[in-house]
Amino acid sequence: MMNKLSQLRAITAVVADTGDINAIRQFTPLDATTNPSLLLKAAQQAEYQPLIDEAIAFAARQGGSSGEQTARCCDRLATRIGHEILQIIPGRISTEVDARLSFDTAATLERARRIMDLYAQMDVAPERVLIKIASTWEGIKAAEILEREGIHCNLTLLCSFAQARACADAGVTLISPFVGRISDWYIHNTDATSFAPEQDPGVQSVRRIYHFYKEHAYNTTVMGASFRNTGQIEALAGCDSLTISPDLLAQLDADSGRLPRALSATADAGFAAAPIAEAEFRFQHNDDAMAHEKLGEGIRKFVVDQYALESRLQARARILEIA
């Protein structure tokens, strides 16, 4: 019998949730996704130092203030790592917009277009890139505009049904509902210490979104993310796509048990649901304490790692200047 990873690949697009090129080579996923936390980890590995040095030199040639150069350096590094990953995978790379722009539609648009321009300079076709944006109302509105421009988006830090509805209305290419972070909240805020996969709140959230999308004929891809264990993954087998860390990919690869399909699209899809208005979105998302807290927490954590990445790049730039 095939291992569980092979069985999963037969019914779900498997995406690597890592910037580690060696792990991507090992597990050969269809797509890959990165974020500031993953880029920070990658930047600490020796094999990425040439890319860092090139990004620093690139930003210096562009000129501007120290802050502008640092921002350009980060975008260049993210796209250079993305370019390297695209040499290995057959599908798409998700590259994230600075989380500090999560509540600024215009700034998100500007940064997304710059990221796409950097990829274009490396002859990467636009259909091979997903711009990753936090699922705030402002981020979703930016994604709606980008999609109309032919720039495809991955809406991340998604924990509420209101976010999922708004993303579908905006016609985004893909959403990343966070399974593990939802479960974490319920473990920390209720008497539960763990959940069986079928009762896991994160799993149930993704299933609800998946069935809603299929029932209303939305084309947006549902990509479950942020897994804590393989049980959560197996409970979503059959979902459009799942982004999985190297550790969990390895566990699935080593397991020769049977992996049945857990999700299937309904036979007859209906018409799209009525769009969600901004006031309705904001109230429903705010009324979901878990989703409200986890979105804010996720943005804050990405910002912390963004600052850490920038500090590392600035320190490396000073070393290069001395040398």
Residues designated as active site: 132
**Is residue 88 helix, strand or coil?**
coil
The residues with which 131 forms a beta bridge, in sequence order, are 95, 153
- Phi, psi of 178, rounded to the nearest 5 degrees: -95, 105
Beta carbons within 8 Å of 95's beta carbon, 6+ residues apart: 34, 78, 79, 82, 115, 119, 129, 130, 131, 132
Exposure string of 218-255, with b = 16+ CB inside 10 Å and e = fewer, is: bebbbbbbbbbbbebbbbbbbbbbbbbbbebbebbbee
| C-beta separation of 139 from 102 below 8 A | yes
| C-beta separation of 105 from 120 below 8 A | no
How far apart (Å, rounded) are the C-alpha atoms in residues 306 and 40? 8
Residue with tokens 């709140």: 201
| C-beta separation of 73 from 312 below 8 A | no
